Structure 1
């Protein structure tokens, strides 16, 4: 099932998503981007930075509405980030507003976080793991399973708060209960579909979905009654969506000390840097809170409101939320009834690896014969030319994604035309300033290319036709223009180019053809003159004979005159002016 959808008509030769994808999980085919699900970690970065909004998130809103309309028992598990992303006076108003949509109950995912916290505290007290990486973020889990499988032994073998809460709700309210997770994360959609914890979560919505639904029903959260949450008070576990929230929850929950150093890391590149450091063996004896989103879940990939400051939200939540732990007597019974264990496994994408010779061959196709030719500009989306060549071999990238190469290629073709074309080529702007002028122009107009590019068209030829094309946006094709001062005859095509607001003209030299036509015309005139003289002489003779025979010469005269006129007109059609 696709999580992120592409609008192919909007995506074209941009590569911004490739440049911003830290794991290069985007394939470019025919100039358009396509996500490779087996490589993607669903961080949502491509969704956030797409300038054409060509990528959209597939929504479960219709599915959830259908569940509610069908009368099913649907319960919302709302992520604690709601406290920084929704507008309300009391948290009870949030519960009331969602209940008005038809949900059977609204519960806080932080209840599940309390169970996960207890499991983390247990792992810390046992001290058996060399390092412990929190497993709340499904994008982090996917990053490690797909790209750093060596670190799988460090992943805490515990499900995320969403999965823990889903199991908890179904255990308490019945297996037929439909659980809908509400939060800012898109990776949760894939996590809900994971066979390792099937049937825990039935649908995933984000806050944009729920706000749209509330607007459709004219429900304003701030106008709703205060309807407090009825179940467990998650207390400190509501801090999970802000940086250091997991660590604060674990520290508050621990009953004793442990020997683990604790720190948090957030943001795609920082998470990757840490993974690489851990692979090198540089990190030991640590409990690490990892979150793929910079600033934590409160700035997840579906949070579009630029007015939301992750710094202000973090400060407000840390000030407003109780730092007290959930008492063990509240979590212990649930932990006995609900399994939170999770097994992680190697999901490394097996891309084909080219040989050194194959890499060099691909590089050569874009003009990179030597290492010095490799600019490593990153415009294609890959940090080095070599990595881009490997991506081409793996069919993730295309040769023409190399912008410097394509620029030089187009420039060389343009120069080739301008330097070798037997025809005069000119490009002028709306002020009649020459922007381009082919080398052959010097032969006809006596202006070198360097001189012409400093001039205006009207300084050496009449620009009237050019101006007409500019004014009317209509093109001129096959017009004969004579330049007596240059002893030049041309056949001209003048075309308006709207994209650049310029006029392109090609002048074909037809001087020899026109001179030949003029000579032919003159020969025909001489022939006709001679014919007229013959006719006149013959007419005189015919008149004398007619006088003797009593006949008229009118018919003969008419026929010969038509012949002369026909010859003259034929000559005019074949080159006459």
Structure 2
């Protein structure tokens, strides 16, 4: 099941998501960016970065509404980060609003966090692990399993507060009850529903944005709701889990109680926290090199902790302000005696495994072959500009080898190729090509134009079109956005006749003119027409002469005919008279 959805039609081939993805879990195929699910740690940075909102969180909200509509007992587990994210006068208004939506119980995830804290305290006391990394953040767990599998031995073998809470509720109320997690994180959805090691305890995951949209749909105002208590005991300091350092505060509170009971200090591990994916990766790199030992480390992929969760939009409130408000509101004491008794039989253990990519790496020869295809023949050709999203040209070539990137993602290469093709056209076309901006200043000039106008390209780019030719038609096209096609224009000063096409280029707000020299063709047409006229004139003279000859012949024939008639008449008369 996917967690991040993708709208193909909106992807504009910008590679911004590739650039912000620290683990490069995005592939580009057919010029469209897609999530590589088995490499994605669900940090949510691509969701925030995408300028076209092409990537979206796949929602469980309709499923939750269906549970309630069908009358299925549905318990909501509210992440304590609500205290620094939602707007209310008193926390009880949030619980009241959730009950109005139809949840059978409203409980704080911090209830489960108390059990997780107790497990961390136990690990600290056992002193068996060289380092202990908290495992409340599913994105951090995935980062280690997929990209630093050799460090899984340092992950605390403990479930997250969400899973712990789901286990407790299911144990208490049976598997027929539905448990919904309400929080700020998209990675919780995969942890709850897609990971066989942790699935089955949380039935749906929704975030605070969806919750507020649901309230608006039902016309429920949190500020108008009453002050109600949650359906769980006071989780006290464990409500600080969403705050950077909050887990440490809980562990220290728990350890303080245990130390007081034992009469001795159990402090053996150095404790610190890291947040933000780059800091977490830096930590893991240090651990790979063996530079860290004897540490208990609270790690959170989101910068600022869960208060800046991956499913949350910018709300105008800094996580510093939210943190201060939460620290002021939350009691720093450990939970009351007997709090953990109800879950003693519920296992909080979990396992981690090597989930790294086992695909083969290309050899040097294959990498060079791929680089050569994008003009990276020599080492100095490798710009490492990161425009494609990869840190180096070699990283990009490796991604191409694995089918996760395309050659055309190299923007310098494509720009050079486009410019090269444009230059080939301008340098080889026999036609005059002139491009002018909205002020009629020349911005492009073909080699043919150089030849006809006797101006170098550099000189032409410092000139306005009207300094060379009549610019009226170009200005008309600029103002009307109407092309002029196939118009004959003579330039007596140049001694040429041209066939012109002038078009408007919208994206650059400029005008392109192409002028084909048809002088020779026009000369041939004129010669042909002259020959026709001369032929017609000669034919007319022949006709006139023939008419004169015909008339002369006709005259002669007329005289001869008359004489013959007289002679024959006389002969006839003579013969007749002789017969008498």
What aligned pairs does 1:16-35 form with structure 2 within 5 A after superposition? 16-35=16-35
Q: Are residues 1:482 and 2:490 paired?
A: yes
**Deviation readout 1:55-105 (Å, 9 max, x if unpaired):** 111111111101100000001000000001111111111111000001101
Residue in 2 that maps onto 1:42: 42
Q: 1:510 & 1:283 partners in 2: Cα distance?
A: 80
CA distance in 1 between counterparts of 2:474 and 2:308 reads 55
Distance across 2 between alignment mates of 1:77 and 1:526 = 103
Alpha carbons of structure 1 residues 122 and 549: separation in structure 2 relative to 1, 3 Å: farther
- 2: CA distance, partners of 1:302 / 1:351: 31
Aligned residue among 271, 277, 281 for 1:268: 277
Give the TM-score, by structure 2 length.
0.92
1:485 Cα deviation (Å)? Answer: 1.4
Aligned to 2:296: 287
- Superposed CA deviations along residues 449-477 of structure 1, whole A, max 9, x for unmatched, are 22211111111212222222223322222
Aligned to 2:166: 166
Alpha-carbon distance in 2 for matches of 1:442, 1:282: 66
CA contact (8 A) 2:499 2:517 kept: yes
Find the counterpart in structure 2 of residue 316 from structure 1: 325
The Cα of 1:498 is off from its aligned counterpart by 1.1
Verify: 1:177 aligned to 2:177, yes or no.
yes
Match of 1:224 in 2: 225
Structure-1 residue corresponding to 2:481: 473
**Residue of structure 1 in register with 2:381 after alignment:** 373
- CA drift of 1:548 comes to 7.3
Shift of 1:229: 1.6
Closer, same or farther in 2 for the Cα pair 1:504/1:549, shift >3 Å? farther
Deviation, 1:409, is 1.3
Q: Structure 1 residue 236 and structure 2 residue 244: aligned?
A: no
Question: Offset at 1:545?
Answer: 5.0
Bigger mean CA offset, 5-14 vs 99-108: 5-14
Contact 1:182 1:206 in 2 (8 A): yes
Per-residue deviation at 1:535? Answer: 2.0
Shift of the alpha carbon at 1:494? 1.5
User: Secondary structure, in 3 states, of the residue corresponding to 2:139?
Assistant: helix
* Residue aligning to 1:211: 212
Alpha-carbon distance, 1:486 to partner: 0.7
Q: Which whole-Å deviations, capped at 9, do the CAs of 1:12-45 have from their partners, x for residues lacking one?
A: 2211111110100000112211000010000111
* Residue segments in structure 1 that go unaligned for 5+ positions in a row: 551-577
CA contact 1:444–1:488 (8 Å) conserved in 2: no
1:122 aligns with 2:118: no
1:361 to 341, 360, 369: 369
| C-alpha separation in 2, matches of 1:187 and 1:400 | 32
Q: Distance in 2 between matches of 1:396 and 1:188?
A: 26
- Cα displacement (A) at 1:337: 2.2
Q: CA deviation at 1:430?
A: 2.4
Alignment of 1:190-201 (within 5 A): 190-193=190-193, 194-201=195-202
Contact kept, 8 Å, 1:127 with 1:258, in 2: the verdict is: no
Once the 2 structures are TM-superposed, how far is the Cα of residue 237 of structure 1 from its aligned partner?
0.2
Distance 1:144 1:447 in 2: 64
Deviations along 1:168-221, whole A, 9 cap, x unmatched?
111112221100000000000000021112210000000011000000111111
- Measured after TM superposition, the shift of residue 539 of structure 1 is 2.7
Q: Which moved more, 1:449-458 or 1:109-118?
A: 449-458
Following superposition of structure 1 onto structure 2, how do residues 54-453 of structure 1 map, counting pairs within 5 Å? 54-193=54-193, 194-254=195-255, 255-256=258-259, 257-334=266-343, 336-453=344-461
Deviation at 1:127, TM superposition (A): 0.8
Structure with higher Rg: it is 2
Q: Which residue in 2 is equivalent to 1:13?
A: 13
Summarize the alignment of residues 498-509 of structure 1 with structure 2, pairs less than 5 Å apart.
Answer: 498-509=506-517
Equivalent positions of 1:461-540 (< 5 A) are 461-540=469-548
User: Structure 1 stretch 306-315 or stretch 240-249: which is displaced more?
Assistant: 306-315
Would the aligned equivalents of 2:191 and 2:199 in 1 still touch at CA under 8 Å? no
Specify the alignment match of 2:569 in structure 1. none
1-structure distance, mates of 2:552, 2:475? 64
Q: Is the 8 A contact 1:482 1:490 kept in 2?
A: yes
Distance in 2 separating the partners of 1:300 and 1:230? 25
Query: What is the root-mean-square deviation in Å for CA atoms of aligned residues?
Result: 1.4
In structure 1, how many angstroms separate the alpha carbons of the residues matched to 2:537 and 2:180? Answer: 102
2:106–2:231 CA contact under 8 A, matched in 1: no
Give 1:541 shift.
Answer: 3.1
2-structure distance, mates of 1:446, 1:91: 81
CA distance in 2, matches of 1:38, 1:350: 12
Structure 2: gaps (5+ residues): 260-265, 559-580
Q: CA deviation at 1:319?
A: 1.5
Task: After the TM superposition, list the runs of 4 or more consecutive aligned residues in structure 1 that deviate by more than 6 angstroms.
Answer: 547-550
Residue 574 of structure 2 corresponds to which residue in structure 1? Answer: none
